[in-house]
Structure 1
Amino acid sequence: MHKILLFMKRRPDISVEAFRDYYETRHAPLAAKYSRGVTRYIRRYVDPQPHPETGAFIDGPDVITELWFADEAIYRATLAYITTSLMPDDIVEDEKNLFDRASFRIATVVERETDFG
């Protein structure tokens, strides 16, 4: 499975609850319209926790969105598109209602799993 991760922060004037509600009820359905070839579209909402040595977790994302692809060609094409092009106008306009767009970060992952079985 190939994955693209999107790390995003909410606009500072929007509460956590309002952010999550808007993403689920408005933005995710809109984004799904443009998600041809995506096999899973997951939103992982971050609940920051303190660290005993470094303190509060204050600079991380509010959501980590995962786009999963079974087809490598579609994954590579999508990655090329989202790293070189702006999203369609209706997506960009909707993102302005929700996100601090300057905070967006895009990454891919190589996964390794330890079997504790």
Structure 2
Amino acid sequence: MADQTYKILLFMKRRPDISVEAFRDYYESKHAPLAEKYSSGVSRYIRRYIDPQPHPETGEFTDGPDVITELWFDNEETYRGTLAYITTSLMPDEIIEDEKNLFDRMAFRIATVVERESDFSNA
């Protein structure tokens, strides 16, 4: 793996009329394979499905995403090009049409991350 990994995070909510199970199944069996066709230069494509848990002070987690999708890049130029594309352009029609089967597209959010990791190996 490269010394530096660049990541784009996609925060997405399912359509309210789709169950959690149906959402996850469709994403894995239909949408992820379709998205992989358009993922040139992506070194890892990870879906992190959210299982909300209550917080003792703030209560239920009801307004967050259903999935956080991570796109990892080892090449900075490819990362920057992909980020510029997805933040200024619409996806191909094939992707948009499939997303309509699955996501609340108006709730999409995009972010990048800078990671810092604590080393607990000597703790």
Shared fold per TM-score greater than 0.5: yes
Partner of 1:88: 92
Say whether 1:116 aligns with 2:120.
yes
CA distance in structure 2 between the partners assigned to 1:103 and 1:8 by the alignment? 6
Partner of 1:49: 53
* Match 1:28 to one of 32, 50, 54: 32
* Match 1:39 to one of 24, 35, 43: 43
CA distance in structure 2 between the partners assigned to 1:59 and 1:13 by the alignment? 16
CA distance in structure 1 between the partners assigned to 2:55 and 2:106 by the alignment? 26
Q: CA shift at 1:19, angstroms?
A: 0.1
Aligned AA (2:8): I
Q: CA shift at 1:113, angstroms?
A: 0.2
* Match 2:17 to one of 13, 20, 23: 13
Aligned AA (2:65): P
Q: What count of residue pairs does the alignment treat as equivalent?
A: 117
* Match 1:67 to one of 48, 67, 71: 71
Q: Normalising by the residue count of structure 1, what TM-score does the alignment of the two structures yield? A: 1.00
Task: Calculate the aligned-residue CA RMSD, in Å.
Answer: 0.2
Percent identity over the alignment is 82
The CA deviation string for residues 65-112 of structure 1, in whole angstroms up to 9 with x for no partner, is 000000000000000000000000000000000000000000000000
Runs of 5+ in structure 1 lacking a partner?
none
Greater than 4 Å deviation, 4+ residue runs: none
CA distance in structure 2 between the partners assigned to 1:11 and 1:21 by the alignment? 14
Q: Normalising by the residue count of structure 2, what TM-score does the alignment of the two structures yield? A: 0.95
The SS at the match of 1:4 is: strand
